Chain A
Amino acid sequence: MNAAYKRHRIVGILLAILVLILIDHLNSPTFAFNMGDGRAPSALVQRDASACAPCGAPCPSTRD
């Protein structure tokens, strides 16, 4: 029977992704805020109500 996947590769990929997520999080304002830095600009709900599109793009009418 041929191998469909190697277990160590799957575990390695998932661990690499987890490490990247952790590095990103440990350097974030949210982590700083959780560690007691009340001045860290953490935002649990990242939204710009004035934006014109889900990606945050401005409205064509407001562009110069």
Chain B
Amino acid sequence: MTQATSMAPAATRPGPDRFVVGLALAGLVVLGGLVWLETAPFLLALLAVSAVLGVALYHGAFGFTAGWRNLVTKKRGAGMRAQLMLFALAALIMIPILGSGRDDVIGAVAPVGTSLVVGSFIFGIGMQLGGGCGSGTLFTVGAGNLRMMVTLLFFIVGAVLGSIHLPWWLDLPAVDPISLIDWVGVPGAIAVQWLGLGAVALWVNRVERRAHGSLERTELRLRPAEGSVAKALFTGRWPFLWAIIVLAVGNALTLVIGGSPWGITFAFNLWGAKVLQGLGVDMGQFEFWNWAYPAQALADSVLVNIPSVMNFGLLLGAMLAAGMARRFNEASRQTPRGRPFLAAVVGGLLLGYGARLAFGCNIGALFSGLASASVHAWIWFACAFAGSMIGIRLRPCFRLPN
């Protein structure tokens, strides 16, 4: 008897994959126990939050990359509008927290300059070639996608390379972070963000209407497309609105509990640097790893690094969701070879390098940046979208479908 699990059509799926669900839960319990015993309760809370975020990303199929590609190639804007709704809700919740004067919270604000523009553009290309963004790569890896594991591996390599080069990029023309909260106050910052997001939504609607004559409003659906609410809650697929609420509240909880908004890619930097350090490379020779936060993170345990702990939780949460849906590893029935494999390598490198130069990915820079009323998030959005359009054109060269 083989140890392998068999695939079955969705309609005849006999229920959750108990092995995968059990393993994911065991992983959460073991990791949670370690965090509880060795660190602090707030990190355990963040682990739990991130596991729920992983479930929401998987069950909501909340991919930034596919949403952008659908708008460009199929002229369908539901995924893009869902993202805009997510940003708007998060801004509404998080800007007042950041503007309340509390000194224990810091927003995801970053400088605006050459590094940001180049990095986010490169990241956008990498999104389409690698097959995911920061969160997309993580949740698909958690769901057992082999090709995305290749992307993640080279994401880490690119991120480390980017960290070594970042000081050079920072010496190019740039200005200090611009926070709309400082400029126009909390109500003004929310208004500016909502106006900006509304303008993008109008453009998305116009693109879709021109191509199809009407809009597919699937992002507004409250009930699941198939099955009961209870079944969809555990096995997916969630309506976009469910995922939007969970992701926005999850980011706000991350801010309140951890002191700063949700971020993903710094952990990739850290993991790569720790591996190099373990192999005998002196990371102290690189300026980036002498800055206070990276140096502190490199010297200490990954269990006290918030992005690392949350990435572990997200991976296990996505694994749990994929097991509940009985779809673990479903996307990996064919080992990636040839050009699609090369696309994962190139895409991963671009994602990592770009994320470091651009101060984060679609989560740390875009989602958390917009929710923190930072101007750099808007620059990131525009440049990454432009890069993504290049990436979409390049996908056929790597035998990737559009």
Q: Which A residues form the contact surface with B (CB < 8 A)? A: 1-8, 10-11, 14, 18, 21-22, 24-25, 28-31, 34, 41-61, 63
Chain B positions within 8 Å of A43 at CB level: 296, 300, 304
Q: A2–B356 Cα gap in the complex (Å)? A: 40
**Contact among A7, A41, A47, A52 for B3, CB-based, below 8 A:** A7
Bound state CA distance, A42 and B305, in angstroms? Answer: 11
Chain B residue total in the interface (Cβ 8 A): 65
- Bound: A60/B173 CA distance, A: 8
Flag whether B198 is at the interface (Cβ < 8 A): no
Determine, out of B34-42, B82-90, B209-217, the stretch whose residues face the partner at the interface: B34-42
- Contact status A54-B4, CB under 8 Å: no
Cross-chain contact A56 with B301 (CB below 8 angstroms): no
A10 & B111 in contact (Cβ 8 Å cutoff): no
When chains A and B are docked, how far (Å) is the Cα of A8 from the Cα of B20? 12
Across the A-B interface, the 5 shortest Cβ-Cβ residue pairs: A3-B4, A56-B293, A28-B301, A1-B6, A53-B110
Q: Are B7 and A4 in contact, CB atoms less than 8 angstroms apart? A: yes
A54 touches B359 (CB 8 A): yes
With A4-B330, A4-B333 already in contact, the answer to whether A51 and B291 are too (CB < 8 A) is yes
- CB of B292 within 8 A of CB of A5, answer no
Would A42 and B304 be within 8 Å (CB), given that A48-B291, A52-B111, A56-B293 are in contact? yes
Report whether A60 and B175 are in contact in the complex, using a CB–CB cutoff of 8 Å. Answer: yes
Among the interface residues A11, A24, A55, A60, which one has the most CB atoms of the partner chain B within 10 A? A55
Cβ distance A6 to chain B, nearest Cβ, rounded Å: 6
Contact residues in A for B291 (Cβ distance below 8 Å): 48, 51, 56-58
Interface hit among B120-128, B258-266, B342-350: B258-266
Residues of A within 8 Å of B5, CB to CB, are 3-5, 7
CA distance A47 to B258 in the complex (A): 10
Given A21-B303, A42-B300: A54 and B330 interface contact (C-beta under 8 Å): no
Contact status B38-A46, CB under 8 Å: no
Question: Once the chains bind, are B304 and A46 in contact (CB under 8 Å)?
Answer: yes
| Known A-B contacts A24-B302, A42-B304; A11 and B23 likewise in contact (beta carbons under 8 Å) | yes
A53→B294 CA distance, assembly (Å): 12
What's the nearest-Cβ distance from chain A to residue B371, in Å? 13
Q: Answer whether residue B166 sits at the interface, using C-beta atoms and an 8 A cutoff.
A: yes
Q: Which B residues, 147 to 204, have Cβ-Cβ distances below 8 Å to chain A?
A: 163, 166, 170-171, 174-177
Within 8 Å of chain A (Cβ to Cβ): is B269?
yes
A52 touches B292 (CB 8 A): no
Q: Which of A2, A14, A29, A63 has the most CB of B within 10 A?
A: A14
Please report the C-alpha to C-alpha distance between residue A7 and residue B30 in the assembled complex, in whole angstroms: 19
A residues in contact with B106, CB < 8 Å:
47, 49
Q: A53-B359, A54-B360, A55-B359 are in contact. Are A41 and B108 (CB under 8 A)?
A: no
Knowing A3-B6, A31-B38, A54-B360, the reply to whether A44 touches B176 (Cβ < 8 A) is no
Contact of A60 among B43, B108, B113 (CB under 8 A): B113
What chain A residues lie within 8 Å of B297 (beta carbons)? 46
Pick the contact of B300: A2, A30, A63 (CB < 8 A): A30
A46 near B269: Cβ-Cβ < 8 Å: no
